[in-house]
Amino acid sequence: MRRSTSQNGPGEGVGGRTRARVHAHAVLGALLMLVVTGGCARKTTAPVALTPRTYAMGFSPNPPSADFALAVRAIQTWTPRADIAQMGGEPPWDSLLAGLRPDSLVIRNQLVLAQYFRAQNLKLFLVVDPLNGLDRASDSDPLKALGHSLTEPAMRALARAYAVALDTLLRPDYLELAVETNLVRAYSPAPLYQAEILFADSAAADVRAVDATVKLVTSVQVDQAWGHIGPPATYQGIDQDRIDFAFEQVLGLSSYPYLSGFAKPEDIPADYYSKLVQGAPIPVIITEGGWSSASVAGITSDPDKQRRYIVKQAALCDRVGAIGWMQIPFTDIDLASLPPPYNTSVAPFAYLGLVDATLRAKPALSAWDAVFARPRQ
């Protein structure tokens, strides 16, 4: 979820995309104390008369606020209605540059939570985003603050070591090594995009040297590929992305059509996903996306539009034969709990949850549950 060219607010440019997961890192550290001794019972059966689905479904553990108890309740609410969990984001640049070992950081920050998800029989999808999750035209803010850039070979080596540590210790099913590459190519300086290519290609080789089974992923921004973000307003496709990241085994798709000119979910073309891989098949996972349940930042929406989007998203996944669909985040964001400028920059993404910031269900949750009830091939 990255849409601003700076951290001053969404809609002020087309150079980047804003994540709803921006405030999650501190709370995820606390989640290492998660209730490993218990949890909700998982649903394991579905009516056999329903049409099977090809895709695992799931969420990320992004909390609605820095309330530990609420964050735990949120995870325990969504794990019974999921097959897969997404973790990760930008490398911890400040810690890596301070000399902390990548494996120590993974053990401290992610291992127990990953073990909890495995205990719930969830597949694990890890993300290593080497650039700025707030601004697709820029390096990571902590990296810049320390006077460095991914364009430096030493910084790419640090990120590669971190990716290997994540894979070695957490043993994910999927590992994403480059995020929304067509946005980066369109709006970042050319040397930074080339640095992302170099990092991802080298990290893929490093990971593959120690792990022969993990599926390697890069993602593209679907709305950008269709020409709905900035000029030119024509279909662009993703051919260059497939060339530049040829190691990928799975293609990730990111889409926020309510921010890209679609007034209602029914306006999204039936081939919105499938056209991207027409003629060049590759397994597809929806890595992020959603539809706001509220009118905010000049965008008109409501809970029923969000519900209908979940129905539409299932149809898009069915048509492309997706192997995964991650709806992040599960909860809304409590904007009042965020400091400036994040409380304004994430506002367009604050109401993507299937439950609100107090975990009260929205109509979209029942639509999700109906799709999840379909037996999975």
Q: What is the pLDDT of residues 60-107, one digit of tens each?
A: 999 999 999 999 999 999 999 999 999 999 999 999 999 999 999 999
Does 25 score more than 90 pLDDT?
A: no
Non-local (6+) Cβ contacts of 131 within 8 A are 90, 138, 139, 140, 150, 179, 184, 188, 192, 196
* Chain position carrying tokens 């810690």: 95
> What's the pTM value of the predicted model, to 2 decimals?
0.88
Does 180 score more than 90 pLDDT?
A: yes
- Using pLDDT thresholds of 50, 70 and 90, give the confidence band for residue 172: very high
Q: What is the pLDDT of residues 331-350, one digit of tens each?
A: 999 999 988 877 887 888 99
State the pairing for strand pair 56-59/284-289. Answer: unpaired
Query: What pLDDT is stored for residue 48 in this prediction?
Result: 52
Tell me: domain 20-372, CATH 3.40.50.11540, correct?
no
Query: For 29-43, 46-60, 354-368, which range has the lowest pLDDT when averaged over its residues?
Result: 29-43
Write b or e for each residue in 75-89: b if 16 or more Cβ atoms lie within 10 A of its Cβ, otherwise e: bbbbbebbbbbbbbb
Q: What is the pLDDT of residues 273-327, one digit of tens each?
A: 999 999 999 999 999 999 999 998 789 999 999 999 999 999 999 999 999 999 9
Torsion of Cα atoms, 358 then 362 then 365 then 367, to 10°: 180
Across residues 15-27, what is the average pLDDT? 41
Does 12 score more than 90 pLDDT?
A: no
Q: What is the pLDDT of residues 39-57, one digit of tens each?
A: 444 555 544 579 999 999 9
Across residues 234-245, what is the average pLDDT? 98
